[in-house]
Structure 1
């Protein structure tokens, strides 16, 4: 199972996200972070895999594409959510795996059929998928008929909280989708990593738990649990 370090970018800096309250995100200067300057941050932590959320672009502001490219060059694989709003947006940054988030990519589920690459991020808040208000299991069942390389369950409401995961929820979602499936949001430590692996997930996106030491940095550097 892949372990992927999450990096939220805003204002040219790495910021710490919590519960999707983007207005309250502040530069990440604690824990293992030697600097909130993205290249210095990624160079110091040395993850094998990286997940970047360009919060500026997601919120309809100027994308930080040059900064993303420089960070992506430092890792083996980089997943990028830049708030795509059309299939053309998926090719704006080369050398990354595009992430198509339900929050921005489509007014209706049927619009997702136009996308032919990358991962579908099922953006969840309060147990419901943004912006449609349906259960993530329903989206997962329908996503198997689309052309994505895989799906990500991104629990935006749990980001940065380390609230932990529930086995039954994970197993229920995993049963709905036959392809590659990643999870991010609320991962509290190694027990949750093992829980995701046991439930059959193919990867976990982590950040806060790494800085608190409940997920070893060495695991993130190797790109998988040890």
Structure 2
């Protein structure tokens, strides 16, 4: 079975919808399943089992949603949280939180991190900020001390661009660690591609709000 994880981007205290990593153009998510972009109200409508949060203010170094995120305890089984970790001590500890360490903010030296998920942040096929092939980094992840990895296609976020089966297989074969895929999932056919390739999880947002993926799936949190 593959986990289905609902993505929620937080900016200025609201849930926002983004596309291709152009964060200056992100706007409140006032369409789709939820009638509100207020995070608590949004979660009460969506009711996901698993949640991925990108705290865009903290990633940019302009603010923090820590207090808000800690209030989500009991609303989800697990919260994968990218809050822009820049050094090993810069994580948020809570029983329901799995910290995500993104290459975009952590930089090339990942040796001091322990536990959590490494997010291999990719733009135009290259890891941010090093520019290397994501397969190269994923193949080294097993020698580090992470519990798993996320392959995040930043340029595909919000685009519904779809999944290439060959590329999915190439990425999955790079590591034996638990591996999630995020960015560009169009619908259930793409979920099938990721499942068949052996991914352990898929992070989705746009496909959920357009109706391409039924909300019951995100509430169950599993695809098989």
TM-score class, shorter: over 0.9
Partner of 1:221: 219
CA shift, 1:157, in A, is: 0.4
Partner of 2:25: 24
Q: State the TM-score, normalized to the length of structure 2.
A: 0.97
CA contact (8 A) 1:158 1:185 kept: yes
In structure 1, distance between residues paired with 2:60 and 2:124: 20
Q: Secondary structure of the equivalent of 2:130?
A: coil
Q: Secondary structure of the equivalent of 1:86?
A: coil
Unaligned runs of 5+ in 2: none
Q: Does structure 1 residue 170 correspond to structure 2 residue 172?
A: no
Q: Secondary structure of the equivalent of 2:223?
A: coil
CA shift, 1:72, in A, is: 4.2
Structure 1 stretches of at least 4 aligned residues deviating more than 6 Å after TM superposition: none
More helix by share: 1
In structure 2, distance between residues paired with 1:70 and 1:184: 25
1:125 is matched with which residue: 120, 123, 126?
A: 123
Q: Does structure 1 residue 63 correspond to structure 2 residue 64?
A: yes
Unaligned runs of 5+ in 1: none
CA shift, 1:93, in A, is: 4.0
CA shift, 1:79, in A, is: 0.3
Q: Secondary structure of the equivalent of 1:98?
A: strand
RMSD value over aligned CA atoms?
0.9
CA contact (8 A) 1:65 1:93 kept: no
CA shift, 1:208, in A, is: 0.3
CA shift, 1:135, in A, is: 0.9
CA shift, 1:73, in A, is: 3.4
In structure 2, distance between residues paired with 1:121 and 1:192: 20
Q: State the TM-score, normalized to the length of structure 1.
A: 0.96
